[in-house]
Every structure is written in structure tokens, then in C-alpha cells.
Amino acid sequence: MNDDASLDLAALMCSRLCHDMLSPVGALSNGLELLADETDPQMREQCMDLLEQSARTSTDKLKFFRLAFGAAGGFGEMVEVSEAKSVIDSLVANAKRVEAHWAMDAAKLPKDAVKVLLNLAHIALETLVRGGSLDIGAEMRSGNTEIVVRASGPKIAFDETIGKALQGDLAARDLSSRTAPAHMIAMLAERSGGGLQYQLGEDALVLGAVLPQPEGLIG
């Protein structure tokens, strides 16, 4: 990727972050305005509940962005699976009628694998517009990290443009803030010599990744 394309991707990622944070931060602002003008004790209590919920949602999203998009400072080359699980479980808790199920056979995963896992889980979670199940699994074997994420429910709302970005089939000029995260993890997978794939059915979406482990971690 050349410098211009890298700058464009960074701008799109920033746009995505701002878009996702606008709702909870806006709710915080609205709650504070209501609280300033409200004198009824019951209404003030409701305002405080709104502020608490919005603050929690904002915090959960920022924790996700830090691990899924950022450099994840403070972590080494391996990241505790519990960190990734905590982040996704928080997002699931903020969703409606979604249950998450985990099948992880390692306590730690390579940092890039965690980024891929988090982004695949987030993509899958967003497709469950009427609720459903989010199944997330990962294992390290034969020098690879293998990741599978499955979303199943009564309606799967998946933009296959995101699928094209995951598989590296979307031209850089066609990227948007919606497809930028998928493009980013496709680049991570390509850099490691691995790949991503997806399969969309009537009531399920399966996302997968195979990522060779960094040389220093094999063995």
C-alpha cells in the first residue's frame, strides 16, 4: 500500500470510529442538558440512568477500538484471550437479544490474530439485527492461528461489499468507512501469509481466518 492509500485508509478508520462514537457521546450530552434543567427527582434519576448507560457504552466501544484498530500499547506480541473476550462480551451486552458462545483453546493469541478475531466478531455482531447467536472460536495448531466466527439468527443483514473487502477483492478507491476495518484485517492477513474468507447463508454468516504465527512464536 502506497503512502496516499495508507492516509486514505487512516482517514476512513477515523471516520468509522467517529461514526460509532457519535451516538453514545451524543446521548451523554443530551443527558447532561436534561439533568441541568430537570427538578423532578424521578426524572433526574432517569437522566442519571441514561448518563450511566451512555458512559458505559462509550467506554466499551473505546476498549474495542483500542484492541481492534490501534497499536494496543501495553500488550506484548501475545494478548490474553480474556481481554478480547471481555471486549466482545461488553458489546454483546449492549446489543439486543444476542448471546455469545466461546470456544478458545489458548490463553493467549498473537496480537494481529486478536485484531482479526475482534473485527470478525464485530462484523458478525452487526449482522444480527433481530438477535441471535454469536459463536467465536480460535485455536493455534501446526504453526497457524485458526479463527471461526459464526452469526446465526432470524435475519442476517450482511453487506457483501464487506465480504469483498475481507477477501481483498475490493479496490482501494471503493473503500468506505464501513468497509475499512475489513480491508485493514485483510491487509494483516496478507502480511502474515494468511487469508480470510466468508460464507453467507439464509440464516447464518460464517467468517474465517487462517494466520501463520510469527516465527518467534512457533514452536
Q: Give residue-wise pLDDT tens across range 146-202.
A: 999 999 999 999 999 999 999 999 988 899 999 999 999 999 999 999 999 999 998
pLDDT at 217: 57
pLDDT at 67: 92
Specify whether the CB–CB gap between 134 and 99 falls below 8 A: yes
Q: What is the mean pLDDT of the chain?
A: 90
Q: Residue 66 — left, alpha, or beta (φ > 0 → left; ψ -120 to 50 → alpha)?
A: alpha
Residue-level length of the chain: 219
Instruction: Please state, in angstroms and rounded to a whole number, the distance separating the CA atoms of residues 56 and 59.
Output: 5
pLDDT at 219: 46
Contacts of residue 61, defined as CB under 8 A and 6 or more positions apart, other chains included, come to 20, 21, 24, 91
Question: Side chain identity at 136, as an amino acid letter?
Answer: I
In angstroms, the Cα distances linking 58 to 8, 45, 54, 175 are 25, 20, 6, 26
Specify whether the CB–CB gap between 91 and 64 falls below 8 A: yes
Q: Is 94 exposed, middle or buried (0-12, 13-18, 19+ CB in 10 A)?
A: middle
Chain-centroid distance, C-alpha 12: 15
- DSSP reduced 3-state for 72: coil
Residue of 125, 172, 219, 205 whose CA lies nearest to 3: 172
- As a whole number, mean pLDDT of residues 86-91 equals 95
In angstroms, the Cα distances linking 16 to 67, 82, 148, 177, 182 are 15, 25, 24, 5, 12
* Per-residue pLDDT reduced to its tens digit, 41-70: 888 888 888 899 899 999 999 999 999 998
Strands 195-200 and 144-152: unpaired
